[in-house]
Structure 1
Amino acid sequence: MPVPVVVAIGDSITLGVGDGVQDARGDVGWAAHTARALGAATYLNLAANGTRVRDLHGAQLDAAIAARPDVVLVTAGGNDVLRGDFDPIAVELTLRAAWERLSGPGCVVVTVTIDRIGLFDLLPAAVGAVMARRVHALNGAIRGAAEATGTLVIDGATVFRQAGRSAWHIDRIHPSPLGHRAIAAAALERVAPWWAAVAPIDSPPVPPRTTERAWWLMRKGAPWAARRSRDLIPQVAQAVAHEMLEERRSRLRGAARA
């Protein structure tokens, strides 16, 4: 029975962040679980933390094409919605160009739309509303690019809703071990017409104890927040202010026309 060459590209979700409290090196996460279940002849994870959609057109995409994959697994776009220069039209065009390069004969490309980022539900309602709109726009861009290139799409919101609150990692940004496995199961369903699973997805580990969670937050979560607060928080604040200003202008234009 033939077995596929599986390549994963994208961001920290593809890399496997959130699949436990260990460091992700590409050997954990939804893409790794999918590859193992497919009995991949070769599995190459090229993802990197912080990757934006425009970053795919470089080392990741070139190496992916060189590997001559049968299956390509992608998550990208989450880092774009966290930036002040987020542009869903540019994201769609860039994704479309990337997937057109990958979508050769015999290559199946699978991507994932993202769910509402749980972290922002802990912040003021105005921030959460802006980020929810951005996620909606991103998912529209992902679906538009996918439709144009024949890329298979997993609905991330549906996966998380079915898996429940336990699908979120401690940071409320990445999937938990359960969430990663739920995405992998959805990926296997999408590629089944071409490649059948030859092994089950392993069960998620026992959830980390309170002490392990505290260790992760102290050693990983807090330093990440400190590093990103220098650019992420100002940019989110800028995005909120920009969208609130645009809403006000829209209301004033509507009132003027009336």
Structure 2
Amino acid sequence: MSTVQVAPNLTFAVIGDSAAFGTGDDAPDGTFRGWAFYLAKSFRDECNYVNFARPGAKSDEVSGVQLSSAKAYSPDICAVVAGGNDLLRNGFSPYKLHQNLLRTCKELMELGSEVIMVELHDPNQLLKIPNLIKRILRKRVEAVNAVYRKIADELEIVLIKTREIPDVHNLRNWHIDRMHPGERGHKILAREVAIQLQKRGWSLTIPETGEVFSKEKSLQMKWLIANGVPWFLKRSVDLLPVVLVLAVIEIFKILNEKLNYLKILR
């Protein structure tokens, strides 16, 4: 669990996955910062920052485990970031994701918490993968974002529409894995969240993005070998079967579309 200050006037809690944990923005001492860390430092009041997010967490962990930890602090503001790991797993269910996140947000709002959620970016803008896999990934990402928007409409939470951030998919904003924001990307997210909170009456300064110097390529490759490859292999075991099934379905859809087009031409 990460913290910034104690004896606060305001408590800011975070629950979710690696995007909330701060993956992609590692400090020299080996800890992770991330957009929530920068946001916590921008409040004008003293802020008690508690982060229960865990890399790899799915929405059921967020609603079933992390939520109770956050509620114990009666947070004034709570960020809920989950869905990215759900979509990468076999048995992905937008309905289940919606139920988990809706319950989480409702319980936090019953405490009086301001709830923040962040839409997924478009990974196809960053990843070099086969077009067929892109189609599958696009549909799942859109399904997750549709869940976020539905909850935002139902509960009027703060929803950051990541894809609408100018130049958001510029590679310099992203970690070498191209799945997580880098330091600059996290600072941009912190800025966007701060702007939205300010509109709702919260007292805070708008974080600066500043210039960020990239790590040497040799260090980036070391990270990729040590962390990226094991992550990919672990996810492939779970995701490969469903990718194959969905790929077959997509192929049939493409063939069907072409057949229908030929019928029209006749």
Q: Normalization by structure 2: what TM-score? A: 0.84
Question: Residues of 1 paired with 2:28 and 2:18: CA distance?
Answer: 13
In the alignment, which residue of structure 1 is the partner of 2:135? 129
Native 8 Å contact 1:33 1:201 kept in 2: no
Q: Cα offset for 1:52?
A: 1.1
Question: Residues of 2 paired with 1:122 and 1:254: CA distance?
Answer: 29
After superposing the two structures, state which structure 1 stretch, 195-204 or 137-146, moved more.
195-204
Percent of counterpart pairs with the same letter?
A: 28
Q: Cα offset for 1:245?
A: 4.8
Native 8 Å contact 1:21 1:216 kept in 2: no
Matched, 1:222 2:229: yes
Q: 1:4 aligns with which of 5, 10, 16?
A: 10
Query: Structure 1, residues 199-241: CA drift from partner, whole Å, max 9, x if none?
Result: 7447464111112111111221122223333223333333333
After superposing the two structures, state which structure 1 stretch, 115-124 or 65-74, moved more.
115-124
After superposing the two structures, state which structure 1 stretch, 95-104 or 230-239, moved more.
230-239
Question: Residues of 1 paired with 2:55 and 2:30: CA distance?
Answer: 9
What secondary structure sits across from 2:175 in the alignment?
coil
Question: Residues of 2 paired with 1:71 and 1:57: CA distance?
Answer: 16
Native 8 Å contact 1:73 1:111 kept in 2: yes
In the alignment, which residue of structure 2 is the partner of 1:37? 42
Q: Identify unmatched segments of 5+ residues in structure 1.
A: none
Native 8 Å contact 2:27 2:33 kept in 1: no
Q: Identify unmatched segments of 5+ residues in structure 2.
A: 1-7
Q: 1:177 aligns with which of 179, 183, 186?
A: 183
Question: Residues of 2 paired with 1:160 and 1:211: CA distance?
Answer: 30
Seen in structure 2, the aligned counterparts of structure 1 residues 159 and 202 have a Cα distance that, compared at 3 Å, is closer
Query: Structure 1, residues 47-97: CA drift from partner, whole Å, max 9, x if none?
Result: 011111122122200011111101111221111111231121222222111
Matched, 1:63 2:69: yes
1:53 maps to amino acid:
S
Matched, 1:159 2:165: yes
Native 8 Å contact 1:9 1:45 kept in 2: yes
1:42 maps to amino acid:
N
Question: Residues of 2 paired with 1:103 and 1:249: CA distance?
Answer: 46
Aligned length: 254
Native 8 Å contact 1:154 1:187 kept in 2: yes
In the alignment, which residue of structure 2 is the partner of 1:53? 59
Question: Residues of 2 paired with 1:125 and 1:74: CA distance?
Answer: 31
Question: Residues of 1 paired with 2:120 and 2:36: CA distance?
Answer: 15
Question: Residues of 1 paired with 2:248 and 2:46: CA distance?
Answer: 47
Matches within 5 A, 1:65-84: 65-84=71-90
Seen in structure 2, the aligned counterparts of structure 1 residues 11 and 119 have a Cα distance that, compared at 3 Å, is farther
Seen in structure 2, the aligned counterparts of structure 1 residues 41 and 121 have a Cα distance that, compared at 3 Å, is closer
1:51 maps to amino acid:
A
Matched, 1:115 2:114: no
Question: Residues of 2 paired with 1:251 and 1:9: CA distance?
Answer: 45
1:5 maps to amino acid:
T
In the alignment, which residue of structure 1 is the partner of 2:4? none
In the alignment, which residue of structure 2 is the partner of 1:233? 240
In the alignment, which residue of structure 1 is the partner of 2:5? none
In the alignment, which residue of structure 2 is the partner of 1:210? 217
Q: 1:195 aligns with which of 161, 183, 202?
A: 202
1:30 maps to amino acid:
W
1:194 maps to amino acid:
G
Q: Cα offset for 1:100?
A: 0.4
Return structure 1 stretches of 4+ with deviation > 6 angstroms: 21-24, 246-255
2:151 maps to amino acid:
A
Q: 1:28 aligns with which of 27, 33, 40?
A: 33
Seen in structure 2, the aligned counterparts of structure 1 residues 24 and 40 have a Cα distance that, compared at 3 Å, is farther
Native 8 Å contact 2:59 2:86 kept in 1: yes
Q: Could you say what the CA RMSD is over the residues aligned between the two structures, in angstroms?
A: 2.9
Q: Normalization by structure 1: what TM-score? A: 0.86
In the alignment, which residue of structure 1 is the partner of 2:108? 102
Query: Structure 1, residues 13-70: CA drift from partner, whole Å, max 9, x if none?
Result: 0000011487975x50111111111255211000011111122122200011111101
